[in-house]
Structures are given as C-alpha cells and as structure tokens.
Amino acid sequence: MKEKLLSLKEAAKNAIIAAKDEHEIDELRVKYLGKKGELTALLKQMGSLSPEERPVMGQLVNEAKQHIEELITSKATEMKNKATELKLKAETLDITLPAKTQSAGKIHPLNTVLNDMLDIFQSMGFDVLDGPEVETDYYCFECLNVPADHPARDMQDTFYLSKDILLRTQTSAAQARVMQNNKPPIRIVCPGRVFRADEVDATHSPVFHQIEGLVVDKGITMCDLKGVLEQFAREIYGKDTAVKFRPSFFPFTEPSVEVDVTCSECGGKGCRVCKGTGWIEILGAGMVHPNVLRSCGIDPEVYQGFAFGIGLDRITTTRYKISDIRLLFENDKRFLEQF
C-alpha cells in the first residue's frame, strides 16, 4: 500500500507539472483528490490494515494529500499569473503611435459675410429678424403692390406649393409681417434664403440669399437710405469704394434704385467680373410705396420708410473672388477649407 501511495504521489506530481491549462489542473484535482479520486480509493482500503499500521498509513496518506493539494494550488496560481501577464502584454498601448487628427469645422464663407453684414447693420441700430421661407402669395406679392399680372407671379419664376402657398422669391415678403406686428419706429434687417425657378449657371442658383432691410419712421427720406447704404458698402468693401445709385423699378418702392459699387476685382477699371463696366450691382432699394404702408395699417401721410434687399451671394463671391456661385452650395470640403 505504501508503494502504491508513493507511485500515486509521483504520478500526480508529474501530471501536475505537465498540465497545460487551468482546465487540466481541475481535472487532476478531481482525479486525485475528488470523492471518487484515487487517494480516496486508497483510504478506503485502510480497513484491511492491522491496527498498528493504520495510523502510520493514515498519516502518510494525509501528507500525500496535502502535498498534492499544494502542488495543484501553486500550479494554478502560476498559470493565472501567466495568463494575466499575457493579457496585459496584449493590451499594452503604444503611446508612440501618431494620434488621429480631428478636422475641425469651419464657418461657411456665406456665414462669415452674413455675420459681418449683420454686425454693420446692428451697429447702426437695426434689429435682426427671421421670416418664413414658405410664404403666402399675399405676403410675397399682393401686399407688396405686385400686380396679379406681374411676371414674378409666373410659375416659371416662382415655386408654388399650392395656389396660394409658395417658396418666397424675396426676403421683402417679411416686410409686411413686420409692419403689421410692430409700430414705427421700425428698423430691422431680415436675412434668409429665397427661391426662384432659375436655370443653374455660374451666376444663378434656384436657392440664394438676401438680406432685407426696412426702416419706417417720421421724416425718413431718400438721404437716409443713401447714407445707410453708402456706409454699409464702405464697411464691407473698404472706404475707397464708390457707390452709384441708378433709377430702377420695384412695385413696392417709389422711387426705386439699384445700387452698384466699384468692382472689387479691378478697382473700377473694367474686367471679366464686372463685364468691363467697373461696377458691380449688389442690391435693390427704394422708398416704401404708400400702398404698401397703407396695406399694413401705417398712414403714409405721417410715416415714411425705405427698404433694401442685398444679395448675400453676390457680396460673398466678389469679396472672395469666387468665380462660380455653385461652389457656395456644393459643400466640397476642398473648397470650404480655403476660408
């Protein structure tokens, strides 16, 4: 029995040393120390020993049991440590790797110019308002003194959503809402998108941007209009910029003007951008027509006003010498990153 015990001990030791993973160790634990294990089986044979031999053998078996347990525990710990070490090695961060760079967004050139323009008008005391892009025929045309047979009302120029609902063709549509909801003095600018059924080319887009201006108060004259617009043009294009007022026509202003500034490309000498004229048209304006004031409940005998509509896209393309308006709407990162 003693020999059996010794060989069992030896076999267990070798098996434990040879074990390759925790699973094998578990199996060995069951094989040698389990209830149905080999050591237990040996203990069961103790009954056949003489009373003198029993305690000696008992002690030997217990020692063997303890020895095997110790071997198993230390092997298990060793394996666990090895596994942890491997795991840590696998998870090591290589802090010398170059970082992934995050490209930050930029302000779109249209927004840069818009912000500059709003700053200029706010410094002159204008409030900034918003108006709806989806408008009624009434606000976009009718109350602006645009007659029913005016060409702007043609389907070819205006996107109609239904008979009376349309996409505004001009930010002037915001004028009447402001005059109906506020008492003079009124001094506002209203920037936003406008829509016209234009063919797309280098200078036309079905969506573009305007900034509407409206001033209504007692004693407002054409001089006020000229002063505000000249000041604006010089702040946007530089103080040497010349401003030219040309007589024009809009149904909602009388008299009406179109305003040109010195071509920023050639300084007025004449070039491709200004088509050789030396001037660039940037806005339409005029004194608010008495019919418009009246339709908004303002007495034209007491109050006068002026209005203007500036083309934001035009100002942006001329300021940055952008040759094609489509670039402003394509959102090509290679283009936008240049600003």
Minimum separation from the CB atom of position 309 to ligand PHE (A): 3
* Closest approach of ligand PHE to the CB of residue 307, in Å: 4
Shortest spacing between CB 225 and ligand PHE, in angstroms: 10
Cα distances (angstroms) measured from residue 232 to each of 108, 191, 203, 214, 220: 21, 15, 23, 14, 18
Minimum CB distance to ligand PHE, residue 286 (Å) = 5
CB of 284 to ligand PHE, least distance (A): 3
Residues 79 and 84: their CA atoms lie apart, in Å, by 9
On whether the CB atoms of residues 173 and 295 are closer than 8 A, the answer is no
* Distance of closest approach, residue 229 Cβ to ligand PHE, in angstroms: 11
Query: Which residue number, 61 or 214, has a Cβ lying nearer to ligand PHE?
Result: 214
Q: Which residues contact 26 (CB under 8 A, 6 or more apart)?
A: none
Burial class (CB in 10 A: 0-12, 13-18, 19+), 36: exposed
Query: Cα 154 to the chain's mean position, in Å?
Result: 36
Nearer to ligand PHE, 114 or 285 (CB): 285
Asked if 204 and 198 touch (Cβ cutoff 8 Å), the reply is yes
Q: Which of 143, 148, 146 is nearest to 176 (CA)?
A: 143
Q: Which is nearer to ligand PHE, 94 or 130 (CB)?
A: 130
In the complex, residue closest to ligand PHE by CB? 309
Question: Is the peptide bond preceding residue 255 cis, with omega within 30 degrees of 0?
Answer: yes
- 225/274 with CB nearer ligand PHE: 225
Least distance (Å) from ligand PHE to the CB of residue 245?
12
Q: Is the peptide bond before 98 cis (omega within 30 degrees of 0)?
A: no
**Any bridge partners for residue 224, and if so which?**
none
What is the secondary structure of 147-170 as a DSSP string? -TT-GGGSTTTS-BSSSSEEE-SS
Q: How many CA atoms lie within 13 A of 207 on its CB side?
A: 10
Nearest approach in angstroms of CB 172 to ligand PHE is: 4
Query: Coil, helix or strand for 319?
Result: helix
Applying CB under 6 A, the residues found at the interface with ligand PHE are 170, 172, 250, 253, 284-286, 307-309
